[in-house]
């Protein structure tokens, strides 16, 4: 099962025209296995002992994966990036929920239509970044 994700990850990476290194595959597999967006540190903790990875390498791999749109980054009010695999459902814009108590982040599917945000004249819309904050089921 874990192996299955490894294979999917490898396939996705090759398909994006990059080198299928064990680091990238392992990282993407971890993100694919995760329901929520998780931090750099959380990814580090989930790395198997057989795959020790330098902090910097992890950062660079994440940046590369995000550049290839295989994952996306979410910023939140703790000033920490969180990463999440771009499953089909989420490949386009979507909102995030962040628990104000346990800091867990999950993805929501909806997003208010972006274009009809009334921006001042001359301003051009590109994208929307929306985080709903509250208490998750465990903390609420």
Give residues in contact with DNA (CB under 7 A).
14, 18-24, 39-41, 52-57, 59-61, 63-64, 79-81
Nearer to DNA, 49 or 88 (CB): 49
50 binds a copy of itself (CB under 8 A): no
Per-residue contact string for residues 91-130; x = within reach of a copy of itself by CB under 8 A: ----x-x--x-----x-x-x-x-x--xxxxxxxxxxxxxx
Q: Indicate which single residue of 4, 75, 91, 102 sits in contact with a copy of itself (rule: CB under 8 A).
A: 75
Largest CA distance in the chain: 55
| Alpha-carbon gap, residue 32 to 17, rounded angstroms | 19
| Alpha-carbon gap, residue 100 to 59, rounded angstroms | 26
114, 57 contact by CB (below 8 A): no
Q: From the list a copy of itself, DNA, none, pick the one residue 122 interacts with, judged by a Cβ distance below 5 to 8 Å according to partner type.
A: a copy of itself
Nearer to a copy of itself, 56 or 137 (CB): 137
Encoded tokens for 72: 């996306």
3 binds a copy of itself (CB under 8 A): no
- Say if residue 89 is exposed, middle or buried (CB neighbours under 10 Å; 0-12, 13-18, 19+): exposed
| Alpha-carbon gap, residue 28 to 35, rounded angstroms | 13
76 bridge partner residues = none
Nearer to DNA, 56 or 137 (CB): 56
Residues at the interface with a copy of itself (CB under 8 A): 73, 75-77, 79, 81, 95, 97, 100, 106, 108, 110, 112, 114, 117-137, 140
């Amino acid at each position: 099962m874990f192996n299955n994700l490894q294979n999917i990850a490898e396939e996705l990476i090759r398909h994006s025209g990059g080198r299928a290194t064990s680091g990238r595959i392992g990282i993407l597999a971890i993100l694919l296995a995760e329901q929520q967006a998780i931090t750099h540190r959380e990814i580090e903790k989930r790395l198997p002992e057989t795959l020790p990875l330098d902090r910097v390498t992890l950062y660079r791999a994440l940046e590369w994966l995000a550049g290839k749109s295989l994952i996306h980054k979410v910023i939140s009010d703790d000033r920490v990036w969180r990463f999440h695999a771009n499953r089909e459902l989420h490949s386009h814009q979507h909102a995030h929920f962040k628990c104000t108590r346990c800091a867990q982040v999950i993805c929501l599917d909806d997003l208010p239509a972006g274009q009809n945000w009334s921006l001042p004249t001359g301003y051009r819309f590109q994208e929307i970044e929306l985080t709903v904050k509250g208490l998750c089921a465990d903390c609420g």
